[in-house]
Chain A
Amino acid sequence: MAKPAARRGTSSSKTNRKSKAATSDSSDENFELRSLQDEYSEKKRFDASDDELLELYERMLLIRRFEERAGQLYGLGLIGGFCHLYIGQEAVAVGIQSALEGGKDSVITGYRDHGHMLAYGIDPKIIMAELTGRQAGISHGKGGSMHMFSTEHAFYGGHGIVGAQVPLGAGLAFAHKYREDGGICVAYFGDGAANQGQVYETFNMASLWNLPIVFVIENNQYAMGTSVKRSSAETHFYRRGTAFRIPGMDVNGMDVLEVRQATEIAIKHVRDGGGPVLMELNTYRYRGHSMSDPAKYRTREEVQDVREKRDPIEHAKALLIERGISEDKLKDIDKDIRAKVSEAADFAESSPEPEASELYTDVLVGNY
């Protein structure tokens, strides 16, 4: 049977035929959706050097402290509108980002984006200044918490509509493949977005066209106030690519080294031309959905339990101490990060608001 033109059309010469056949040929009885999961199960932790682990720890701690401060500035009325904090989920963005190739790979996410931006090394000052709506903010104060971008870092947002980033991410992956630049795209979305129809339209095309994309579901257990159990017929999100012949991976998103290891496996598969991978990162947000969410849909004990037993930062800290890193060194790191965050907050508070003329800039690129 002849294959449709579109599939032929977008398969580059670099496509690894063997792995392509393993993921997309529906007549292949040996199709193994759990092949990546099996590989991951054999060895779950990434072998990080002390320096590597320290760096991951620092990145996570920076996100934690930054977000705490953002919450404080929100309370003071310096940040307005919606503000979704990343506290508790730090290991996901940090672990995945550490496996990407800077300058080559692209990333896109939803509105809970401050943590991601920090993970990619974007200056905390211009992120915080965007949160306070100042000219120095990364979007000149016109995007706010949910709409931030850094094309310089191949960070494509920062999207406020739940699930929209998934086909947009596939578009970025399409561009990588079209240009044959060797890059891949990581598209993050939540357990809530995972129920949007466009996600499955995208899965279909991404698999059909063998796009270089890793779909990452950050399952933080609640879509605003609705728990996964109350919203999802299939709560194991990593299985949701099955109908599209996309292999899934079930990953502990509270351990940065496990995240890193799983990502290495996923990325290798994608870069080798194997087509898309779907990773489910099980994680937890400690704060409400946004700043105005009282989080009455779960008990205080539930949150406390995760904080005490599964906190990704405490976990990494314990590993570092086990490896003989001194408590003093860790204290110094914490101090440096607090200073950095304070500096960002001061900058964000003292920077001027955008000029009124900024109202009309960047609506269109051209003059007509």
Chain B
Amino acid sequence: MAIELKMPALSPTMEEGTLSKWLVKEGDEVQAGDILAEIETDKATMEFESIDEGQVGKILVPEGTENVKVGTVIAVIGGDGEDVSSSGGEAEAKPESAQMEKSESPEPAKTVEPPKAEARASDPDIPEGTNMVPVTVREALRDAMAEEMRRDERVFVMGEEVAEYQGAYKVTQGLLEEFGPRRVIDTPITEYGFAGIGTGAAMGGLRPVVEFMTFNFAMQAMDHLINSAAKTNYMSGGQMRCPVVFRGPNGAASRVAAQHSQNYASWFSHVPGLIVIAPYDSSDAKGLLKAAIRCEDPVIFLENELVYGRSFELAQLDDHVLPIGKARIVREGSDVTIVSYSIGVGFALEAAEALAEEGIEAEVIDLRTLRPLDKETVLESLAKTNRLVIAEEGWPQCSIASEIQGICMEDGFDYLDAPVLRVCNEDVPLPYAANLEKLALIDSPRIVEAAKKVCYR
């Protein structure tokens, strides 16, 4: 059987090339692997190998021919012992480019809508008479891990100083004592490596909770968070899951300057395949960390060092788990909506108190989960107040705040009575000097000012 040799595509982008040289002539016997010709692309001269054996029949495109389209029949080879020297002329040199095939492919995905989320989850009701106890965020996080470790043997904690030192910020306090060194593992200072090991352990069926001493150091591990953890389920057609939690403090701490003070929320929330959670109070910290550990998807869990020591009322329940992907209205109001997350929620609540004194009732929304983002809660509130401000302890450009602005513009335009304003950190690396640091970070007076502005007050 004669085999048509077609002009090969030698790079992902090649559409045509020059057949610079034939290294065989009509009638030659060739073996698989023999080099037949040299082809010049826009990038390089490539060798064209035979994959079949047989006799070279008709050469249809002479050497030196330029702009030969990919897919053009350039020669004919006969099978074992077959003489095709005269039969080749029938094969016309016409381009059968990949372009043509593409045009026959099914309709582009344009018309396809992403699937709508099913019935929206909401926080479970706290039964009447439940004991409420003030608990620090630090303890709430610790209890979440401990409870999940008791519940599921596959859960383990790894990171720098998580075991014997009891956690650099004491979030893992007591875990080593209860669960032993098999499940509470001190790592060397080697973020790239242990983030990869944690991710691989999740692929292998375990439930790792990987602590970054702070998220600033997660930059050394970014590749595994994005390329290994987030994309694997998709790339494997749903075969390979990666149920890992990366957690640790994020955002500005206090007087540790630029390299140790950054909010990475928008970086991570940019990436499909990740869940990004950033709680504010103890109840959300505990309920969402427990949900994160049970979650089948990779989770980035952003805590805040300045909030670790704050106490909040926490319901004493056997199993306090909250839904991922659901914002929470932490203060109801009718005049203006303040959207925030993490430490910003504290500033937003302070601002709401101050605004109330001036007769402005602000509704405060804690996003809690940044990806998937609960647009509905934001838009419902906007429909009620018609004015919205976002408070974010982070830089303004390409921020969560920008995203909320975009959502309000696209889906809430008709509700708007004023432009949506962002209250973010100053657009500079965080300085060390006390006065400059204070100037750079958001605070409640700035939120009050923005809220009054959108209320035209």
Interface pairs A-B: 9 shortest CB-CB: A171-B200, A9-B181, A167-B196, A201-B193, A75-B8, A77-B98, A175-B204, A368-B325, A292-B11
Q: Decide yes or no whether B280 CB sits under 8 A from chain A.
A: no
Instruction: Say yes or no: A77-B236 contact (C-beta < 8 A), given A356-B106, A359-B109.
Output: no
Chain B proximity of A149: nearest CB distance (Å): 4
Report Cα–Cα, A258/B111, bound state, in Å. 56
Chain B residues with CB below 8 A from A178, complex form:
156, 182, 201, 206
Q: State whether B180 touches A9 (Cβ < 8 A).
A: yes
Query: How many of chain A's residues have a CB under 8 angstroms from any CB in B?
Result: 83
Check A364 against B43 for contact (C-beta < 8 Å). no
Mask of A46-85 contacts with B, CB within 8 angstroms, 1/0: 0000000000000000000000110110111110111000
Q: Would A77 and B200 count as touching, CB distance under 8 A?
A: no
A227 CB-CB contact with B under 8 Å: no
Q: Is the CB of B224 closer than 8 A to any CB of chain A?
A: yes
Are A143 and B235 closer than 8 Å at their CB atoms? yes
Chain A interface residues toward B at CB < 8 A: 4-6, 8-10, 12, 68-69, 71-72, 74-78, 80-82, 106, 108, 137-143, 147-151, 156-161, 164, 166-176, 178-179, 197-198, 201-202, 204-205, 208, 286-288, 291-292, 294-296, 300, 307, 353, 356-357, 359-368
The residue that A8 contacts in the complex, of B181, B206, B233, with Cβ under 8 A, is B181
Bound together, the chains give a CA A76 to CA B69 distance in angstroms of: 11
Say yes or no for B12: interface residue by CB 8 A criterion: yes
A78 CB, nearest partner CB in chain B, Å: 8
Q: Smallest distance from the beta carbon of B411 to chain A beta carbons, Å? A: 19
In the complex the two chains form, is B297's CB within 8 Å of A168's CB? no
Complex Cα distance, B196 from A170, in Å, reads 8
User: Could you list some 24 contacts between A and B, CB below 8 A?
Assistant: A4-B186, A9-B184, A71-B51, A72-B51, A147-B236, A148-B236, A149-B235, A151-B239, A157-B240, A171-B197, A171-B198, A174-B197, A179-B206, A202-B193, A205-B188, A205-B190, A205-B193, A292-B14, A296-B45, A361-B238, A362-B236, A362-B237, A365-B296, A368-B275
Q: Is B192 an interface residue (CB 8 A)?
A: yes
A204 engages B188 (CB within 8 Å): yes
A69–B3 alpha-carbon span in the complex (Å): 13
Given contacts A168-B199, A175-B205, A205-B190, contact A364 B106 (CB under 8 A): no
Whether the Cβ atoms of B192 and A167 lie closer than 8 Å is: yes
Pick from A179, A205, A359 the residue with the most CB of B within 10 Å. A205
Q: Is the CB of A9 within 8 A of B182?
A: yes
Give the complex CA separation of A368 and B325 in angstroms. Answer: 5
On whether A360 and B203 interact (CB within 8 A), knowing A76-B71, A366-B324, the answer reads: no
Q: A77-B97, A353-B106, A360-B115 are in contact. Are A368 and B323 (CB under 8 A)?
A: yes
Which single member of B51, B176, B190 contacts A68 (CB below 8 Å)?
Answer: B51
B residues less than 8 Å from A69 (CB atoms): 51
Q: Which residue of B lies closest to A367 (CB)?
A: B118
* B residues contacting the other copy or chain, number (CB 8 A): 92
Q: Do the beta carbons of A82 and B193 come within 8 Å of each other? A: no
State how many angstroms separate the Cβ of B234 from the closest Cβ of chain A.
5
A106 contacts across to B, CB distance below 8 A: 204
Nearest CB in chain A to that of B11: its residue: A292
Give bound CA distance, A353 to B98, whole Å.
Answer: 15
B204/A81 in contact, CB under 8 A: no
Q: Is the CB of A139 within 8 A of B227?
A: no
CA distance A28 to B250 in the complex (A): 43
Within 8 A of A (CB), among B163-196: 163-164, 176, 180-188, 190, 192-196
Contacts of B190 in A (CB 8 A): 201, 204-205
Residue picked from A137, A140, A174, A208, most chain B C-beta under 10 Å: A174
A6-B163, A368-B372 provided; 6 other pairs, C-beta below 8 A? A76-B6, A149-B236, A174-B201, A201-B194, A356-B112, A366-B297
- Residue B90 interfacial (CB < 8 Å): no
Residues of B within 8 A of A (CB): 6, 8-12, 14, 32-33, 35, 41, 43-49, 51, 70-71, 97-98, 101, 105-109, 111-112, 114-115, 117-118, 121, 156, 163-164, 176, 180-188, 190, 192-206, 208, 223-224, 227-228, 232-241, 272-273, 275, 295-297, 323-326, 369, 372
Partner of B227, one of A160, A201, A288, A360: A160
Contact yes or no, B51 A171, CB < 8 A? no
Contact among B45, B107, B199, B241 for A171, CB-based, below 8 A: B199
B200 touching A363, Cβ below 8 Å: no
- Closest A residue to B325 by beta carbon equals A368
B8 to chain A minimum Cβ distance, whole angstroms, is 3
Residue of B nearest to A75 (CB): B8
| Residue numbers in A under 8 Å from B204 (CB-CB) | 106, 156, 171-172, 174-176
Report the nearest B residue to A76, measured CB to CB: B6
Complex Cα spacing A170 to B190, Å:
14
CA A142 – CA B105 in complex, angstroms? 16
Q: Considering the chains assembled together, what is the distance between the CA atoms of A203 and B354 in angstroms?
A: 56
User: Are the CB atoms of B185 and A10 closer together than 8 Å?
Assistant: yes
Given A74-B8, A157-B236, A169-B200, check contact A368 B369 (CB 8 Å).
yes
Report whether B192 and A198 are in contact in the complex, using a CB–CB cutoff of 8 Å: yes
Residue of A at shortest CB range from B203?
Answer: A156
Q: Is the CB of B163 within 8 A of A159?
A: no
CB A121 to nearest CB in B, in angstroms, measures 16
Choice from B45, B117, B164 contacting A5 with Cβ under 8 Å:
B164
Smallest Cβ distance from A156 to chain B, in angstroms?
6
CA distance A170 to B238 in the complex (A): 22
For A158, the chain B residues whose CB sits under 8 A away are 235-236
Q: Is A167 a contact partner of B11 (Cβ separation < 8 A)? A: no
Closest to A82 in B: B12
Residue in A143, A288, A368 whose Cβ sees the most chain B Cβ within 10 Å:
A368
Q: Chain B contacts of A149 at CB under 8 A?
A: 232, 235-236, 239-240
Alpha-carbon distance A368/B288, docked complex (angstroms): 12
- A143 pairs with B237, CB closer than 8 A: yes
Please measure, in the bound complex, the distance between the C-alpha atom of A158 and the C-alpha atom of B203, giving whole angstroms: 13
If A6-B163, A77-B101, A168-B200 touch, whether A150 touches B235 (CB-CB below 8 Å) is: no
Q: Is the CB of A363 within 8 A of B202?
A: no
Bound-state Cα–Cα, A151 to B106, Å: 30
With the chains together, A239 CA to B195 CA distance in Å? Answer: 26
Say whether B197 contacts A170, CB under 8 Å.
Answer: yes
Contacts A9-B182, A68-B32, A356-B109 given; does A364 touch B297 at CB 8 Å: yes
Bound-state Cα–Cα, A291 to B272, Å: 30
User: Are B114 and A151 closer than 8 Å at their CB atoms?
Assistant: no
Q: List chain B residues, Cβ under 8 A from A169.
A: 200
From known contacts A10-B181, A175-B201, A362-B234, infer whether A353 and B105 are also in contact, taking CB-CB under 8 Å: yes
Q: Is A5 a contact of B203 with CB atoms below 8 Å?
A: no
